Amino acid sequence: MGLRSKLKKYFLHKRLPIETYIPNRKTKPSKMIEIVTAWEGLELIIEDIIDRFSIGNDSCIEFGVEFGYSSVVFSNYFKEVVGVDIFIGDEHTDHKGDHYEKTKASLSKFENIKLVKSDYRDWIKEDTRNYDFSHVDIVHNYKETFECGLWAAQHSKCTVFHDTESFPEVRRAVIDIAKATGKNVYNYPYHNGLGIIV
Ligand SMILES: C[S@@+](CC[C@H](N)C(=O)[O-])C[C@H]1O[C@@H](n2cnc3c(N)ncnc32)[C@H](O)[C@@H]1O
């Protein structure tokens, strides 16, 4: 890491501090797909998080599937994974354009993943379920992350948020959601950062 990036990280952590999550062990999930994604590396700590906080292994909901890297990781640990995405990308993704059919085809062999083409705003109006685990990795603005993440934190035991290191808006939303829900918050500062609310 260059001096500029180190300084940027230093000031971000000072301005928006979150207790660091230190995994006890790292485990590579047995089922994975090969995709270039900023999420790569985080698969190693998901089992540790589930065990540390006794989350259970029944259900997971994910907002922001894109090509399905994280969905497949979660499919190793939960009987059911619901993946919600508009599947057209957003202002922060490299890929723009409809990728629903492509993602659906490449994930078809993972029978416990159910993909839903929907905006999170429409989904959270209708869904009243509670899940064991949730993941938020949508457009990385404060408003959207807060709104979607608040719902996720209120409807699951543990919510993880990607990009707490690369997008200060996501980090700020994670801190505010933890305050609003009275839950604990941790941050794993690698692979662009993973916020953990539990
Ligand atoms: C960074 S990508 C997700 C990456 C993925 N988690 C992975 O493992 O590679 C963000 C995704 O969020 C989706 N998205 C953006 N805004 C959304 C919204 N309002 N509702 C649902 N999905 C949204 C985009 O279509 C895009 O596929």
Sequence ranges of the domains in the chain? 24-197
Confidence label for 21 from pLDDT (cuts 50, 70 and 90): very high
Residue 94 confidence (pLDDT): 87
Beta bridge partners of 59: 80
Mean pLDDT of the chain: 97
Q: What is the CATH number of domain 24-197?
A: 3.40.50.150
How many angstroms separate the alpha carbon of residue 84 from the centre of ligand 1? 8
70-102 confidence digits (pLDDT tens): 999 999 999 999 999 999 999 999 887 899 999
Confidence label for 57 from pLDDT (cuts 50, 70 and 90): very high
Radius of gyration of the chain (CA): 16
Sign of CA dihedral 140, 142, 148, 149: positive
Residue 155 confidence (pLDDT): 98
* For ligand 1, mutation pick of 34, 42, 71, 86 (most atoms within 8 Å of CB): 86
In angstroms, rounded to a whole number, what is the distance separating the alpha carbons of residues 52 and 146?
Answer: 25
Sign of CA dihedral 36, 39, 43, 44: positive
Pocket of ligand 1 (CB under 6 A): 37, 39, 63-66, 69-70, 84-90, 93, 119-120, 137-139, 144
